[in-house]
Amino acid sequence: MALGKSAAVVIGSFDLGESDRVVTFYSREHGKVRGVAKASRRMRSRFGGALELFTLGELVFFDTGRTDLVRVDHFDVLDPFAAIRTDLERLGQGAWIVECVNRLTAERDPHAALFGLLTRALRALASAAGPPRVAICFGARCLDVLGHRPRLDRCVECGRAYPFARPALDEGGVVCEACAAHATGATSISPAAVAALGRLRAAGWEEALTQPLGRVEAELRNALESHMTRLIGQPTRTAKFLRSAAAIRDERGASMSGVNMDVIVSLCKRRGFIFQSSEIYGGTGSCWDYGPLGVELKNNIKRVWWRDFVQQRDDMVGLDASILMHAMVWKASGHVDHFTDPMVDCRECKHRFRADQVDEIDWTHHCPATKGNKFTIKAGESCKHCGERRTLCPNCGKGELTAPRQFNLMFKTFMGPVEEDAAVTYLRPETAQGIFVNFDNVLQSTRRKLPFGVAQIGKAFRNEITPGNFIFRTREFEQMEIEFFVNPHDRLEGRPADEVWHDRWIADCQAWFARYGLAAENVKLHEHARDELAHYSKRTVDLLYKFPMGWSELMGIANRTDFDLKQHAKFSGKSLTYFDEERKEHLVPFVIEPSAGVDRALLAFLLDAYQEEEVRGEKRVVLRFHPELAPIKIAVLPLLKKRPEIVAACHELHHRLTRRWLTLYDDTAAIGRLYRRQDEVGTPYCVTVDVKTVGDAEKGESGDGKVTIRERDTMQQIRVPMTELDAVFGRLLDAGAPWSEVAAGYPRAEG
Ligand code: GAP
């Protein structure tokens, strides 16, 4: 029997029998060791609380050689890292760190560098360091020391040198967009996140823990989890726990998004993003029009979604179905019978409310205790004068409400000149059905093999009873939907393929919103409980965003099973099956449906980008849009509009640059004002032409041909030759190079 001794950390444990415990240690001298700690669960155990997860101690064990399990003799605590257990986030990230060590190492395979990294990470986690940051620094270094360092200098598939515009991360490192299309496991990653990962790896441990990462922190954390998943072969158990911990933390303490919706509505109108529909007639309140900047922003959102989810994946195709469809579509889909909300009407003012939401709105009260004075009382509260609760109409405070009635949300219309029952049809309430009824057309025309998806972006219409919260809930809106068809008999990673693909789509959608700027703390997942599920759904997960009115649905990702295809087959009499060549059988595919609202996504991007800050004693409003979403990419501004040479140079630049990137020329105010205006609409770069650029002919001075580029977020300015502008903006806007990297190559200009 051999005696072993080493410093070790507890990285896992489970109960054995009545009173024992099997504990997994990661030790400096022996690597991973599993041992039985006899009687360690007894009240008066000699181990006391020493075997808690994360504890660093001096381990003494006996190896009998008869089984893989050693016998734990002593574990003398060196540092319990107790602070890690004090809050859920620390605990979660700590659990992730020890799980990675546990799953990536073999037993009795010592690795001193990994042991050192593990104890350093736990020490940082027990101190004040931000838990996600510690996990990122640990994850990046853990891959390095175990020989899984992802390559960031070239595409690991084709060898093309990095940078490329839209990298993805696969097992060995970055892959270019062309190779990513064939790599099933690759996850998209922004160039900014690749650069940040490179910087973190190059920095020392302490420096890495404090380096500013900004918005890419969440993206990096997700990218490392995906990378671990690829190495381990399945997601870590702690990733799920971390998501729940974040949800609990948000629900407990965090206040709702700091931005007031009125501020956004006013900015949108003032700067031409969004106007109320038919405003000159008093507006509708349930429909909105996108102005010059709004339409650019909306088109950019749809363009990057289509590019990322359709054009750059080889398992996706697109479709554009008509809005008006055969009336039977809506019978088969269940919308005629089930797409209803219970509603109540006021008998007096005729206002209509959703029965289930009537107590969620502020109510008007004519108080009998104050001679009928009219008050507006907060939703759910009673009158502080008479103590009454709401029983009448919340709007007028006088009328009785009718009993609830089911109200179909579809807009009815007539196809053709005659308004008769046979001509009734509906404006589509979702784009999804256009995909289902074309399933066979797409299959036959493209000869696709399962799994594959069909995407569509288009208008949908719902006669919502209570539209509101600006563009959050409207009666006319746009959807970006995917129906991803999967063979239900296939198994992936030991699980039914539809369940695995559902998880993958949830992760991809979450990563997509993070990539284009939504802060991780403003987004969370909501798993539908059994009684919340739609009749067709096996499982539905919503992405919620922290809107000013509270956590609300941004998009849904549902497993709709084979419900829709079977319904349409039944109602149309046409077969909507797929022939599985391998099993020689016809089957009805299951479908995973990621469904997002364009308008809701736009609202979330606007809210997340909005920031107010003080600059030299003045308020600066800035929309920190991701450059790909920003409506205008570059503004060309003359420092002096009275100098014709300056204006001419600006026009020349404007025309040249706008061929590649939407560029605007503005000379209607002094330069400070012009910069503020561009900040307020989220333009990432301003180019200023000044006297030094063009020179002064009267004084016989020639210009240096250089202009100033100002970056929106840092407000830094650099001096760049006009001839190099295309190359500079190509790096910044097309290749996604970080500003710091590009700016480092040019002299700073005075602000
Ligand atoms: N095909 C599935 C489907 O339509 P949904 O949850 O009803 O599912 C999907 O809608 C997404 O469409 C929502 O997550 C939301 O982003 C958007 N959406 C739904 N109703 C909307 C409305 N009245 N106004 C704006 N967006 C809406």
* Strand ranges in 444-494 using DSSP code E only, listed in sequence order: 452-461, 476-486, 491-492
How many angstroms separate the alpha carbon of residue 603 from the centre of ligand 1? 14
- CATH number for 632-743 (one of 3.30.530.20, 3.40.50.800, 3.30.420.40, 3.40.50.10490): it is 3.40.50.800
Lowest mean pLDDT among 184-198, 452-466, 661-675: 184-198
Q: Position 742: which residue type?
A: V
- Which atom in ligand 1 lies closest to the alpha carbon of residue 479? 12
Whether residue 594 has a cis bond before it, omega within 30° of 0 = no
Arithmetic mean of pLDDT, 490-519? 94
pLDDT digits (tens, 9 = 90+) for 246-273: 655 554 433 344 688 999 999 999 999 9
Q: Report pLDDT for 252.
A: 43
Where helices occur in 253-347 by DSSP H, the ranges are 261-270, 292-306, 327-333, 335-338
Arithmetic mean of pLDDT, 725-734? 97
- Provide φ and ψ at 62, rounded to 5°: -110, 130
Q: Report pLDDT for 190.
A: 84
Arithmetic mean of pLDDT, 493-520? 94
Residue of the CA atom closest to atom 17 of ligand 1: 597
How many angstroms separate the alpha carbon of residue 363 from the centre of ligand 1? 27
Q: Report pLDDT for 441.
A: 98
CATH 3.30.930.10 fits 308-335+412-605, yes or no: yes
Q: How far is CA 257 from CA 261, 336, 519, 527, 551, in A?
A: 10, 37, 11, 22, 9
- Which atom in ligand 1 lies closest to the alpha carbon of residue 555? 14
Q: Report pLDDT for 486.
A: 98
Where helices occur in 459-612 by DSSP H, the ranges are 497-515, 563-572, 598-609
Task: Enter the tokens of residue 192.
Answer: 């900014």
Residues in Cβ contact with 356 at an 8 Å cutoff, skipping those fewer than 6 apart: 341, 342
Residue of the CA atom closest to atom 21 of ligand 1: 473
Residue of the CA atom closest to atom 15 of ligand 1: 597
Residue of the CA atom closest to atom 14 of ligand 1: 555
- Which atom in ligand 1 lies closest to the alpha carbon of residue 464? 23
The model's confidence at residue 506, banded by pLDDT at 50, 70 and 90, is very high
318 class by beta-carbon count within 10 Å (0-12 exposed, 13-18 middle, 19+ buried): middle
Q: Report pLDDT for 697.
A: 82
Q: Ligand 1 pocket test: which of 284, 329, 430 has the largest number of ligand atoms within 8 Å of its C-beta?
A: 430
pLDDT digits (tens, 9 = 90+) for 546-567: 999 889 999 999 999 999 999 9
Q: Report pLDDT for 581.
A: 95
Q: How far is CA 455 from CA 46, 594, 667, in A?
A: 62, 9, 42
How many angstroms separate the alpha carbon of residue 301 from the centre of ligand 1? 16
pLDDT digits (tens, 9 = 90+) for 329-373: 999 999 998 888 888 999 999 998 888 888 888 899 999 999 899
Lowest mean pLDDT among 71-85, 260-274, 683-697: 71-85
Where helices occur in 279-430 by DSSP H, the ranges are 292-306, 327-333, 335-338
Arithmetic mean of pLDDT, 11-31? 92
The model's confidence at residue 35, banded by pLDDT at 50, 70 and 90, is very high
How many angstroms separate the alpha carbon of residue 599 from the centre of ligand 1? 10
- Provide φ and ψ at 362, rounded to 5°: -60, 145
- Which atom in ligand 1 lies closest to the alpha carbon of residue 556? 14
pLDDT higher than threshold 90 for residue 571:
yes
**Residue 198 DSSP one-character state:** H
pLDDT higher than threshold 50 for residue 390:
yes
C-alpha–C-alpha distance, residues 15 and 361, integer Å: 51
Model pTM? Answer: 0.68
Arithmetic mean of pLDDT, 493-521? 94
Q: Report pLDDT for 249.
A: 54
Counted residue by residue, the chain has a size of 751
Residue of the CA atom closest to atom 16 of ligand 1: 597
Q: Report pLDDT for 246.
A: 63
Lowest mean pLDDT among 57-66, 328-337, 529-538: 529-538
Kindly report the average pLDDT of the chain as a whole number: 91
Q: Report pLDDT for 256.
A: 42
Residue of the CA atom closest to atom 8 of ligand 1: 595
Q: Which residues lie across from 21 on neighbouring strands?
A: 15, 37
Where helices occur in 610-682 by DSSP H, the ranges are 644-658, 671-681
Pocket of ligand 1 (CB under 6 A): 430, 432, 462, 464, 473-474, 477, 479, 481, 553, 555-556, 593, 595-597, 599-600
- Give the architecture (CATH level 2) of 81-253: Up-down Bundle (1.20)
Q: Report pLDDT for 214.
A: 66
3-state secondary structure of 598: helix
pLDDT higher than threshold 80 for residue 86:
no
612 class by beta-carbon count within 10 Å (0-12 exposed, 13-18 middle, 19+ buried): exposed
* Strand ranges in 91-208 using DSSP code E only, listed in sequence order: 168-170, 173-175, 187-188
How many angstroms separate the alpha carbon of residue 597 from the centre of ligand 1? 6
How many angstroms separate the alpha carbon of residue 689 from the centre of ligand 1? 46
The CA-to-CA distance between both ends of the chain, in Å, stands at 74
Q: Ligand 1 pocket test: which of 330, 595, 599 has the largest number of ligand atoms within 8 Å of its C-beta?
A: 595
Q: Report pLDDT for 367.
A: 93
Percent of the chain whose predicted confidence (pLDDT) is above 90: 69
pLDDT digits (tens, 9 = 90+) for 583-633: 999 999 999 999 999 999 999 999 999 999 888 888 899 999 999 999 999
Q: Ligand 1 pocket test: which of 339, 477, 523 has the largest number of ligand atoms within 8 Å of its C-beta?
A: 477
The larger pLDDT score, comparing residue 222 to residue 38, is at: 38
* Strand ranges in 28-69 using DSSP code E only, listed in sequence order: 31-37, 56-63
Where helices occur in 387-496 by DSSP H, the ranges are 432-437, 439-446
Residue of the CA atom closest to atom 7 of ligand 1: 430
Residue of the CA atom closest to atom 6 of ligand 1: 556
**Helical (H) or strand (E) element with 96:** helix 88-104
pLDDT digits (tens, 9 = 90+) for 130-150: 788 899 999 999 999 999 999
C-alpha–C-alpha distance, residues 66 and 68, integer Å: 7
Q: Report pLDDT for 107.
A: 92
How many angstroms separate the alpha carbon of residue 412 from the centre of ligand 1? 19
Arithmetic mean of pLDDT, 523-542? 90
Arithmetic mean of pLDDT, 189-209? 87
The larger pLDDT score, comparing residue 639 to residue 535, is at: 639
Q: Report pLDDT for 166.
A: 81
Residue of the CA atom closest to atom 13 of ligand 1: 555
Residue of the CA atom closest to atom 22 of ligand 1: 473
Q: Position 119: which residue type?
A: T
Q: How far is CA 87 from CA 133, 142, 244, in A?
A: 15, 24, 13
